[in-house]
Amino acid sequence: MKPKVIHNILLCSFCLALYCLCNADKFLSSRYEWKKLIMVHHWPPTVCKEAENDCSNPPGYWTIHGLWADKAEDCNRSWHFNLEEIKDLLPEMKMYWPDIIHRPPNCSQFWKHEWRKHGTCVAQLDALNSEKKYFGKILDLYKQLNLDSMLQKLGIKPSIDYYQVADIRDALASVYGVMPKVQCLPPEKNEDVQSIAQIELCFTKDLQLRNCTQPGLSASLRQKARGADVADSSMGLEVCEDGPVFYPPPRETMR
């Protein structure tokens, strides 16, 4: 092969590599671009019902499911979870972020899953750019939001009587100043009402509260919006339909 041809091939290869390097962020950003953070709380008695396994004596208070970016998952599989990095957070993690589905609890696997799937995506923010910051900030947000106490102050407590979804959603909006998203486990056979399962409160990238859904959005449109967010893919759960909802008490209080 002539030297001039070789030179042209090398020059073209160099230019192509340079172009890819300079535009790598554009290729990646389109795949992992996201606009909001979703702080997800779940109600253990309903989660246990959804799991349909030996999920005995779940906590009788709202626990953490995770902090998720919308429209982004598994952003950096090479960034492995290291339990040692959050060793000093473990007492609070076990209390407020337990693995309530698996018995015996395997919390480290649950946290590993949340870090790999969601933490590596939101780590582009300085406030969340390490494993320690990610889990620590979520614990801080959980305590600041204080969802369990807020619901009780609003008179919304686990009960054998039913609530109205709109009443729960509007009551929370009056406290937090933003519209939350309430998710339910649809009624099963021989049941006539959905059960409350998760409550999401959303944040901007500056960690300021923002609407999860638009105020006044119809149930049908909220259902369509559910499919638009990757973070709303909890198996078996749906955005609650307007109407009655069961807020199941812990099992021991129902006996």
Which of the residues 50, 65, 131, 200 is marked catalytic?
Answer: 65
Q: What is the DSSP letter of 241?
A: P
Cβ-based neighbours of 252, under 8 Å, separated by 6 or more: 57
CA–CA gap between residue 163 and residue 156 (Å, rounded): 8
Q: Where are the domains of the chain?
A: 1-32, 33-254
- Asked if 118 is an active-site residue, the reply is yes
Which of the residues 42, 50, 118, 200 is marked catalytic?
Answer: 118
CA geometry: angle 226, 249, 174, nearest 5 deg: 50
Which of the residues 41, 42, 50, 114 is marked catalytic?
Answer: 114
**DSSP per-residue letters across 142-179:** HHHH-HHHHHHHTT----SSEEEHHHHHHHHHHHHSS-
CATH top-level class of 33-254:
alpha beta
pLDDT per residue of the chain (255 residues) written in tens, 0 to 9: 555 545 555 555 544 444 444 443 433 444 568 999 999 999 999 988 877 666 767 899 999 999 999 988 999 989 999 999 999 999 999 999 999 887 666 789 999 999 999 999 999 999 999 999 999 999 999 999 999 999 999 999 999 999 999 999 999 999 999 999 999 999 987 788 999 999 999 999 999 999 998 665 544 444 444 444 433 344 589 999 999 999 999 875 544
